[in-house]
Amino acid sequence: MTQLKIMTVADPMMGLLWETWPTHRKLETHFNYQIDFTTLMGQLVPDVYALVDQATLSQYGKKVALNQYWVKLMQIYLQEASLAGMPIQMGQGERFFDADHTSSTPLSKGLRVISKQNSRLEDQVLYELQYDTVIRNRQTNDVNYLKRLAKKFGFSETQFMTTYQSSELAANLDEERQVVSRLKINQLPAYVVTYNEQSYVIKGVLKYKEWLDIIQQITNGVVKPIKVNFNSTAVAELMARHPHISSLEIKEAFDVADEAVVIKKMSTCNLSKTKVKQTIFYQ
């Protein structure tokens, strides 16, 4: 049977990407984990100074321009939280950009080094990068942070840095940039959906119903969703793929009407629980 593939084009720093996870979990469960999900690095901010207000930069210098941009960026993040309800909190930890951290590219590099193109591990590493960016407010584009993250996934500092600094990794990321350019993707996130050797570029944050329509059209109705059940076995199967997950994602994955029902059901599970606003993160 021809497999449906969905490649997400985004940057790990993006709040918009964070907001897509509930819908992605729903696609996974409702299509019985038969969709092949991968990522293509959009590399959103090669140089933050290209995004700051140029008049402010010219008149007052880099520090003031960065401070001004950081306030704007925090507001953007917080606004994005309304899209799907995945909590985002800003201003409680480290700044993402400063004079020594002017690019989001280190996140893409770290993700590629640690995941080694393993799609399941790639998703887990990406989730940790995002969680630490939008929830814990860690400076995830700092190489020392990335070394600590790599250690959690079994990499020694030497192993990580050897690949992180390699010309091969730089060439691979440049190739990904070229692919994004060839596909004429000018907004993130975007998706490259492939079925039966035909690929289609889809732009924007999509709701589940929109995904259903796209999948129906692209596969001519061959790939269909299934009925799902919310029980401990089904949750365990989902968490085997996503060992760090939120109550909101579980709610969407299993068509639970109220997130509170998920939280109550999961209250007795032997997992670490972190409450962020009204959502619980389990791992």
What confidence score (pLDDT) does residue 248 get?
98
**Quick one: what percent of the chain has pLDDT higher than 70?**
99
The two structure tokens encoding residue 268: 């007795």
Q: CA-to-CA distance for 216 and 208, rounded, in angstroms?
A: 12
Residue 138 has pLDDT above 70, yes or no: yes
* CATH homologous superfamily, domain 45-182: putative protein disulfide isomerase domain (1.10.472.60)
What confidence score (pLDDT) does residue 117 get?
66
The predicted model gives 129-137 an average pLDDT of: 97
pLDDT digits over 215-270, tens only? 999 999 999 999 999 999 999 999 999 999 999 999 999 999 999 999 999 999 99
Confidence of residue 170 (pLDDT cuts 50, 70, 90): very high
Q: For the chain, where do the domains classified as CATH 1.10.472.60 start and end? A: 45-182
Query: In the block, which residue shows the tokens 């007052």?
Result: 60
pLDDT digits over 22-57, tens only? 999 999 999 999 999 999 999 999 999 999 999 999
Using alpha carbons, list the distances in angstroms from residue 69 to 23, 54, 72, 188, 280.
30, 11, 5, 19, 30
Q: What is the DSSP letter of 256?
A: -
pTM of the model: 0.96
The predicted model gives 190-211 an average pLDDT of: 97
Confidence of residue 1 (pLDDT cuts 50, 70, 90): low
Confidence of residue 118 (pLDDT cuts 50, 70, 90): confident
